[in-house]
Amino acid sequence: MPHVRATHRKLLRRFAREEGGAIAVMFALMLPVLFGIIGLGVEAGIWFKERRELQTIADSAAVAAAIERAYGADAAEYEAAAQLEADVNGFDAATDAMTYVGTPTSGAYSGNDAYTEIVITRQLETVLSQVFYAISPVTTARAVAGTSGDQEACVLALSTSAMNAIYTNGAGTDVSMDGCALVSNSNHGTKSVNAQNGSLDVECIWAAGGIDGEENITTNCGSAASNASTVTDPYADLTVPADTGCDHDPPGNQAYQPANGALLSPGIYCGGITINAGATVSMDPGTYIMDDGDFTVNGGGSVTGDGVTIILTNYDGGNAGTVNFTGGATIELTAPLAGEDYEGVLVYQDRDGGSSPSMDATFNGGSELELGGAIYLPNNDISFTGGNDTDSNGCLMLVAQTISFNGDADIENNCDIYGGNPVTYGARPGLVE
C-alpha cells in the first residue's frame, strides 16, 4: 500500500507539471480576441484607403463647384455640379452623403463666398471586426476650393456654338487692341476665333473652342488659349426701366429727329432717335430709352455726350431696335462713371427684345468713334466695318453673341473709371484646404 500511494503522488506531480493542455485552453480562449485584433487591423487599412478615396471625391467636387460659382451659378447649379463631379469620381449614394456645399464655415476662408466648401461622409463597412465590436464607423472628408488669376478682357462673344464668334473678315483687316483681351464662349472645334482673313494684335485670346489663323495673331500673354473654360456674362443682371410713357412721340411712330444744335434730355423716345446729316446734337447725362426704334447717326451727323446710357427695347413686346453709326458720322459718347446708374454701360439692347439680323449693331467705316463704356447686345451681333478709331477715352467693351471686324479697328481698354462689371477670364480653380 505504501508503494501504491507513492505511485499516485508521482502521477499527480507529473499532471501538475504538464502545461500543454493549459496552453491549448489559453489559445482557445485568446483566439477570438486575436481574430478581432487582426480583423480590425485589416479593416483599418481598408478604411484608410476609403478615406483617401473619399478625399479625392471631395476635392474634385469642391473644384467643380468653385468653377461654377465663379461663373455666376446659383446654389442649386453649383451643388449639382459638385454632385455630378463626385459621381464621376466614385461617390456611392448607398454609403456616401454630401452633407454641405457652400461658403466655408471654418478654416482660413470661413465666410468668404469666393470659395466653396464640400463635406462628404461615408459609412464604412465592417466584416471581421463587427463580430467582436459593436461599432458603426463613419469617415468624413472636407475640401475647400476657389478660383484665382482673373484677367480682364474688352471683347466677349457670348455664343456657345457659333463658327467665327470673333472674326476678322477681309484681307488687310488690321485690328489693334492695346491692353485688350478677346474672349469667345463658342465651343466650335476649329473656329471659335478666326483670324484667317486679317490680323489681331491683342493682349490675349481666351477661347472655349478652337482658334484659326494663329499665324495672324499677336498676343502679349505668350499664346492664345484654346479649349478654355467659358466665362460669365458680366451684364446678365441688367434690367430695363419701367415704361412711364413717351417723352418724345413723333407722329406715325417715326424716329425723333433733332435739329442742328439741339440738346437732348434723358427719357423715353418712342420710335427712337435719328441724327441726320448736318445736325450737331448734344446729350445731357442720363438714360435714353429707344422704345421700338433705333439710335441712328447718319453720315454727316454728329452727337456728343458724357454719362450717357442708350437702352434699346420694345415695351409692347416686339423686337427692340439697334444702333447704327454710318460712314462719315461723328460720335463722341461716354457711359456713366462708377457709382452712377448703369455705370460703365453705353448701349444696352434689351435681352427680352428678340433676336434678328435687323437688330445687329453696325459701326460703318469712316466714322469718327470716340466711345467709352460697354456696348452690350446679349442676343445679337456687332460688326465693325471699314476703318474705325475708338481709342480716345481709353475704354470700349464689346459684348454680343458674335463680333466681327470687317475693317481696321483700334481699341483700348482702360475702363477702371467706369467701374461696372468687367469681363474676366483666365480664372484657374484650385484647392486651398
Instruction: Give the pairing type, strands 96-102 and 115-123.
Output: antiparallel
Give the integer Cα–Cα distance in Å for 182 and 164: 13
Domain co-membership, 155 together with 209: yes
Give the integer Cα–Cα distance in Å for 213 and 108: 45
Beta bridge partners, 422, equal none
Instruction: Look up residue 186 and give its three cell numbers.
Output: 463658342
pTM score, two decimals? 0.68
Domain endpoint, select from 122, 148, 174: 148
Confidence at residue 304, expressed as pLDDT on a 0 to 100 scale: 95
Residue 303 located in a structural domain: yes
Domain co-membership, 395 together with 276: yes
Residue 24 located in a structural domain: no
Domain co-membership, 294 together with 208: yes
Q: Give strand ranges (E) for 6-55.
A: none
Confidence at residue 240, expressed as pLDDT on a 0 to 100 scale: 97
Domain co-membership, 135 together with 250: no
Residue 4 located in a structural domain: no
Confidence at residue 392, expressed as pLDDT on a 0 to 100 scale: 46
Instruction: Give the pairing type, strands 155-157 and 388-389.
Output: unpaired
Residue 13 located in a structural domain: no
Domain co-membership, 115 together with 168: no
Give the integer Cα–Cα distance in Å for 94 and 83: 14
Q: Which residues of 81-116 are buried (b: 16+ CB within 10 A; e: fewer)?
A: bbbebbeebebeeeebebeebbbbeeeebeeeeebb
Domain co-membership, 215 together with 80: no
DSSP helix/strand/coil, 133: coil
DSSP helix/strand/coil, 282: strand
Residue 236 located in a structural domain: yes
Domain co-membership, 256 together with 127: no
Burial, 219: exposed, middle or buried (Cβ in 10 Å; 0-12, 13-18, 19+)?
middle
**422 HSE (CA, 13 A, CB side):** 19
Domain co-membership, 104 together with 183: no
Ranges of the chain with pLDDT below 70: 1-47, 70-72, 126-135, 148-149, 171-172, 365-367, 386-394, 407-420, 427-428
Range(s) of the domain holding residue 129? 29-148
Q: Which residues contact 372 (CB under 8 A, 6 or more apart)?
A: 333, 334, 335, 346, 392, 393, 394, 395, 396, 418
Domain co-membership, 317 together with 390: yes
Q: How many domains does the chain have?
A: 2
Residue 12 located in a structural domain: no
Residue 22 located in a structural domain: no
Give the 3-state secondary structure of 299-352.
CCCEEEECCEEEEEECCCCCCCCCEEECCCCEEEEECCCCCCCCCCEEEEECCC
Domain co-membership, 97 together with 114: yes
Residue 1 located in a structural domain: no
Domain co-membership, 141 together with 237: no
Domain endpoint, select from 129, 148, 167: 148
Domain co-membership, 238 together with 295: yes
Confidence at residue 275, expressed as pLDDT on a 0 to 100 scale: 97
Domain endpoint, select from 85, 116, 148: 148
